[in-house]
Amino acid sequence: MTRTPFERGRIISFIDAVFSIAMTLLVLEVAIPTYEAVAEKGTWGILAGLIPNFIGLLVSFLVTAVYWIAHLRIMSYVVDFDKKLLWLNIFLLLFVVLMPFSTSFYVNGFDLLGPFVFYSSNLAAIGLFNYLIVRYVVKKEIATQGIDPITGQWESWRAFNSFGVWAIAAILGFFFPWVARFFFIAIFIFQAIINAHFKKKMSKTVSS
């Protein structure tokens, strides 16, 4: 009996839906103030008290969006899903759906070590499985979908960047707590360096 391939469109639609739901649920961390609270503290007093919530929402939303864009880009090379790729995506989504909880946990204990390490570890786990997916797809599709070696290395370094930064941030939290909390900015710095390096490498290859 011939096995029917997993439906690519159905799987990607499901993954996109999980990402979008998880990103939407992040806003629930920003609690709606009661009338009495607004009357007592005033609009600006309420908003000032919610600054950590908005920071958590913004960082989590943007980082999750970056992961989704990276996932969308690498999935464009995939022709069909096998079991290994399917399970890598399932484990990726496990940590994606954990994001609303880890964000809430971190925001409610903003100055505590444990919640920050948990939050950073959650994002590092998403980065790890995203990296494993990229490596697997590059290796599997490089011969059939025109992924040249330089593009494969580029995608792999992009994926490793996010994982590495969040893993380092979690470790830094034990020694330099406030540095660790802003270390995520390094993702965008390293990303710019990686992009510049591989663009230069690509241009040299084309010219030669």
Task: Name the residue ranges covered by the structural domains of the chain.
Answer: 8-207
Please state the rounded mean pLDDT for residues 27-49. 72
pLDDT for residue 208: 59
The pLDDT value given to residue 44:
78
Measured in residues, the chain has a length of 208
Evaluate whether 15 touches 93 at the Cβ level (below 8 Å): yes
Residue 30 has pLDDT above 50, yes or no: yes
What pLDDT shows up at residue 179?
A: 92
Tokens 């390490």 sit on residue: 117
The residue written with tokens 């969308």 in the block is 72
